[in-house]
């Protein structure tokens, strides 16, 4: 068995255990393989092992891989998106996790309309207020969701966050619980056409805590593919 397959099996076991611990059904949690800088052969091994969502951070890199590997899996964009890449992003990706400002949403909407499609998006929130992270501040998230809900060619499906890195993953729990609480508050507003089903949260070092706090998509790179070299 390849190490990629082995790693995926282990992670699925850990996701299932975390879900059960918190009274959730493990099938509510989807596992994304994060493949920035990962070579094609290893991505194909992951797809063979059943990974059906691939997350990419760079539009150019993703474009090449998608053309090579095709759309038998979902391709999600999880990186910082510049508005001038919106035109490519709406065509390439099944979901964009990193909508963090109204101007980007408007540009994506324009490009999706021109391409005749509806683009699924998540609103990225920077709960811990770290300078290095590009999400919207939590107090702006409800307004951003309302703004996106007005755009006919975007469909907002949930929220995404990246917790700060901590030696002890327990320290990330308030961040994940905070995203869930924010989602519940926005859903309670009953914005027309908006149901925030997805919570995209949890990475290699903190995914079990994220699952316990309600994650529906965990984004895992290193625990599947090993340390990134490039
Ligand atoms: C790189 C990346 C991940 C995966 O991180 P790992 O620690 O390798 O699991 C998840 N989400 C985002 C937004 C990333 O940029």
Check residue 230 and give its pLDDT.
Answer: 62
Strand 53-56 with 74-77, pairing: parallel
**227 C-alpha to center of ligand 1: Å?**
11
The pLDDT tens digits for 59-78 are: 999 999 999 999 999 999 99
Q: Whose CA is nearest to atom 11 of ligand 1?
A: 219
Do the domain assignments include residue 112?
Answer: yes
The model's pTM? 0.97
Which residue range forms the structural domain that includes residue 65? Answer: 3-220
Do the domain assignments include residue 40?
Answer: yes
Do the domain assignments include residue 226?
Answer: no
**pLDDT band, very low/low/confident/very high, at 2 (cuts 50, 70, 90):** confident
**143 C-alpha to center of ligand 1: Å?**
26
Torsion of CA 54, 59, 61, 62, to 10 degrees: 30
The pLDDT tens digits for 109-144 are: 999 999 999 999 999 999 999 988 899 999 999 999
Q: Whose CA is nearest to atom 6 of ligand 1?
A: 221
* CA dist 163 → 101, 110, 179, 212 (Å): 19, 31, 10, 14
Nearest to 82 by CA among 65, 63, 59, 110: 59
Alpha-carbon distance 82 to 67, whole Å? 21
Shortest-distance atom of ligand 1 to CA 57: 15
Q: Which residues form the pocket of ligand 1, taking CB atoms under 6 Å from any ligand atom?
A: 34, 36, 57, 78, 162, 203-204, 219-223
Could you give the number of structural domains in the chain?
A: 1
Do the domain assignments include residue 7?
Answer: yes
Shortest-distance atom of ligand 1 to CA 36: 1
The pLDDT tens digits for 150-177 are: 999 999 999 999 999 999 999 999 999 9
Nearest to 226 by CA among 18, 33, 25: 33
Hey, how many other C-beta atoms are within 10 angstroms of the C-beta on 223?
18
Do the domain assignments include residue 143?
Answer: yes
Overall residue count recorded for the chain in this entry? 230
Average the pLDDT over 170-196 and give the result: 97
Do the domain assignments include residue 158?
Answer: yes
Residue 17 reports pLDDT greater than 80 = yes
What is the percent of the chain with per-residue pLDDT over 70, rounded to a whole number? Answer: 99
Check residue 145 and give its pLDDT.
Answer: 98
Do the domain assignments include residue 45?
Answer: yes
Kindly state the tokens that stand for 91. Answer: 């065509």
Do the domain assignments include residue 39?
Answer: yes
**191 C-alpha to center of ligand 1: Å?**
30
CATH number at residue 60: 3.20.20.10
Average pLDDT of the chain is: 97
């Amino acid at each position: 068995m390849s190490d990629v397959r082995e790693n995926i099996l282990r992670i699925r076991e850990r996701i299932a255990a975390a879900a059960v611990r918190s009274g959730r059904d493990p099938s509510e949690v989807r596992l994304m393989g994060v493949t920035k800088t990962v070579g094609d052969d290893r991505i194909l091994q992951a797809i063979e092992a059943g990974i059906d969502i691939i997350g990419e951070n760079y539009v150019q890199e993703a474009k090449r891989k998608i053309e090579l590997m095709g759309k038998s899996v979902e391709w999600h964009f999880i990186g910082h998106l510049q508005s001038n890449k919106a035109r490519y992003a709406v065509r390439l990706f099944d979901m964009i996790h990193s909508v963090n400002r109204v101007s980007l949403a408007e540009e994506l909407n324009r490009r999706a309309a021109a391409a005749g499609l509806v683009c699924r998006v998540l609103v990225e929130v920077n709960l811990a207020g770290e300078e290095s992270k590009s999400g919207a501040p939590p107090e702006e998230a409800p307004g951003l969701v309302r703004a996106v809900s007005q755009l006919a060619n975007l469909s907002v499906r949930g929220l995404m966050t990246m917790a700060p890195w901590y030696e002890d993953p327990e320290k990330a729990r308030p961040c994940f619980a905070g995203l869930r609480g924010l989602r519940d508050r926005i859903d309670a507003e009953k914005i027309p056409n908006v149901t925030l089903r997805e919570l995209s949260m949890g990475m290699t070092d903190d995914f079990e805590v994220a699952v316990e706090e309600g994650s529906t998509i965990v984004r895992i790179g290193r625990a599947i593919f090993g340390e990134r070299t490039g």
